[in-house]
Structure 1
Amino acid sequence: MAAVSSLSFSAIGQTSADRKVNVSSARYLASNFEGFGFRTSLLYHSLGVRVSTAASSSVVHCMSTATDVPTVSETKSNFLKAYKRPIPSVYNTVLQELIVQQHLMRYKRTYLYDAVFALGFVTVYDQLMEGYPSDEDRDAIFQAYIKALKENPQQYRIDAQKLEEWARAQTSSSLVEFPSRDGEVEGILKDIAERAGGKGSFSYSRFFAVGLFRLLELANATEPTVLEKLCAALNINKRSVDRDLDVYRNLLSKLVQAKELLKEYVDRDINLQTNCKLGDKK
């Protein structure tokens, strides 16, 4: 997966010019992030899955009821209460957009937590936040974000890591042969295949598509036919996956471009401040 260029905000001050670039870049990222499909009208394609406890003890069932659904404002407020430090607007604008849309996804009546969905979200989050000034703060924001949605951030990370480790040990062939094998991850995938095939509740989501993409990437399964076979084994519509992965790759490319532009501005600002200090000393 293309790595998003690192970026430091340590040199961004409080001048009007700084704020202008910061806000402009944030809007650029947000507008393109919306293109990934996190719009209200598209959320009815979000995840609504049911994973049996027999498939994996690590899978957590999370279904909303009419009596325990918080408002979007409450979820955003919970996030801000959990993480009180300021977030650079280039990141904060996208995070605020994302948490609103995921709130609607999370409290959809048919929503149930799924490990592949978790892998997809973790992948998107880590790509979005790569280059954040502090690793500690990046993790704290992740914790606050997931907890604001009343879910378990540790479970997200554990399940994502479990699927990543499993995928690294696979080949193009073994990845799609999971139905014939036993194992914890194989059980998760077989359960998804059963539900997607009509034997339970399943609702496709773009996070799920990214999760599949991550599995293929880690298994070095670059052949186009592998995705086709994996989708067939999971009873997933490949055309939907292709569409969403194209949008996701485009998003990553634009994230790289936006952060590179801001990095260039920061570097110029640092050089300007350095030259000014040297001039003052003379």
Structure 2
Amino acid sequence: MATVTSYLSLSTLSQSSQTKRTLSSTRLPFPNSDSFRLRFNFSSNSVQRFRATNSPSKFVIRCSSSVTDIPTVSETKLNFLKAYKRPIPGIYNTVLQELIVQQHLIKYKKSYRYDPVFALGFVTVYDQLMEGYPSDEDRTAIFQAYIKSLNEDPDQYRVDAQKLEEWARVQNSTSLVDFSSKEGEVEGILKDIAERAGGKVEFSYSRFFAIGLFRLLELANAMEPAILEKLCAALNVNKRSIDRDLDVYRNLLSKLVQAKELLKEYVDREKKKREERSEPQKANGAISKCLGEQQFYSL
């Protein structure tokens, strides 16, 4: 079973210098190649149940759900495209589209309820994914459009994530686990999660939650397997699920880092080729200009 000590540090993973040159599970948006594929297989239950009835006159599809006015995945994706209309490079866009589909399914589950640890997990994933994006302004705008397309507040995500990060930085292995015996805003958040997870009524576990939990451990320098086990017990969440999902996340993020490096190499090669092609054109232009001047002076 994977343990927390085997996970790559989220803050250092993107700086890895050792990358594989051949990726069996990724496809980059290079010319004459298929589109980049990197799937985040977040487990979630379907929100809606469909029942079809067939009659001689017409075919009817009935949809039953305990939540009213649930948007479709297509509507959520369309909302995102309406909110951010600029083109997004393929390697980023493909993963963002995968994430938004999976988070849509999580968001509209009956048991879903927003919590700051979930927000911290998503912010961590997003920041790792978009690290190195050409424009900081666009990176912020994409984040805003993404969260708003899910009918949630992007500012709340950022504020809550920062709040938890600041709290975790001043914790240690003992204080992190003993949140239930203390008073404070973040302690109250964790107590609420523990109560809901223990009751298994208004708590919807997801991989974003697992990543947020690991981020707390990382910032508190409390990454021993025993500490993770104690924290999971205090929060009433399944450690086996946490281990599994963090291992999957580590592998996916590692592949994304490799893909980004390959994409950078491709862009650099294309830039160099363009520069090489432009040199003869510049030389020809200079010669033509020189000949033109000579003809002028000879008149």
TM-score class, shorter: 0.7 to 0.9
1:131 is aligned to: 132
CA distance in 2, matches of 1:88, 1:172: 41
- Which secondary structure does the structure 2 equivalent of 1:27 belong to? coil
Q: Distance in 1 between the 2:156 and 2:95 partners?
A: 23
1:237 aligns with 2:238: yes
Query: Do residues 70 (structure 1) and 80 (structure 2) align?
Result: no
Aligned equivalent of 1:148: 149
Shift of 1:200: 4.5
Partner Cα distance (1:23, 1:135) in 2: 29
TM-aligned CA distance change 1:205 to 1:75, over 3 Å? same
In the TM superposition, 1:204-243 aligns within 5 A as 204-243=205-244
The two structures, once aligned, show a CA RMSD in angstroms of: 2.3
The amino acid of 1:211's aligned partner reads G
Q: Which residue of 2 aligns with 1:51?
A: none
Cα offsets for 1:10-60 (capped at 9, x unmatched): xxxxxxxx9635964x523x2xx33xx23xxx21399xxxxxxxxxxxxxx
Higher helix share: 1
How many residues are aligned here?
A: 245
- Give the Å deviation of 1:65: 5.7
How far is 1:207 from its partner? Answer: 0.6
Tell me which residue corresponds to 2:170: 169
Query: Residue type of the partner of 2:86?
Result: R
Partner of 2:115: 114
Please report how far the alpha carbon of residue 171 of structure 1 lies from its aligned counterpart in structure 2 after TM superposition.
1.0
Aligned-partner Cα distance in 2 for 1:89–1:23:
12
Q: Deviations over 1:230-269 (max 9, x none)?
A: 1111111111100001111111111111111111111111
Residue 4 of structure 1: CA displacement?
2.8
1:15-30 aligned within 5 A: 20-21=30-31, 24=34, 26-28=35-37, 30=38
Q: Match of 1:190? A: 191
Q: Identify unmatched segments of 5+ residues in structure 1.
A: 7-17, 47-63
Post-superposition offset of 1:86: 0.7
Indicate yes or no: 2:109 matched with 1:99: no
> What is the CA distance between 1:277 and its match in structure 2?
2.3
Greater share of strand residues, 1 or 2? 2
Could you tell me how far apart the structure 1 residues matched to 2:168 and 2:253 are? 22
Offset at residue 280 of structure 1 (A): 3.2
* C-alpha spacing 1:236/1:23, structure 2 compared with 1 (3 Å): farther
The answer to whether the 8 Å contact 2:113/2:204 transfers is: no
Deviations 1:67-125 (A, max 9, x none): 22112221111111111111111111111121122112111122111111011111111
Distance 2:72 2:46 in 1: 20
The answer to whether the 8 A contact 1:4-1:255 is kept is no
2:120–2:160: 8 Å Cα contact kept in structure 1? yes
Aligned-partner residue type, residue 237 of structure 1: N
Q: C-alpha separation between the residues in 2 aligned to 1:65 and 1:184?
A: 32
Question: CA separation in 2, counterparts of 1:259 and 1:248?
Answer: 16
Amino acid across the alignment from 1:240: S
User: Equivalents in 2 of 1:225, 1:261: separation in Å?
Assistant: 37
1:222 deviates by 2.5
Q: 1:180 offset after TM fit, Å?
A: 1.1
Change in 2 beyond 3 A, CA 1:121/1:176: same
Shift in CA distance, 22/106, structure 1 to aligned 2, threshold 3 Å: farther
**CA 1:254–1:218: 2 relative to 1, 3 Å:** same
Greater RCO, CA 8 A, separation 6+: 1
Check the 8 A contact 2:112/2:202 in 1, yes or no.
no
Q: Which amino acid in the other structure matches residue 36 of structure 2?
A: R
1:143-162 Cα distance to aligned partner (Å, 9 max, x none): 01111111100001000000
Match of 1:254 in 2: 255
Q: Is the 8 A contact 1:196 1:202 kept in 2?
A: yes
Give per-residue Cα distances to partners, 1:159-183, cap 9 Å, x unaligned.
Answer: 0000000001111221111111100
Q: How does 1:48-63 map to 2 (within 5 A)?
A: none
Structure 2: distance between partners of 1:90 and 1:211: 24
Name whichever of 192-201 and 74-83 sits farther off.
192-201
Residues 105, 235 of structure 1: alpha-carbon distance in 2 compared, 3 angstrom cutoff? same
Q: Secondary structure at the match of 1:151?
A: coil
Q: TM-score normalised to the size of structure 1?
A: 0.81
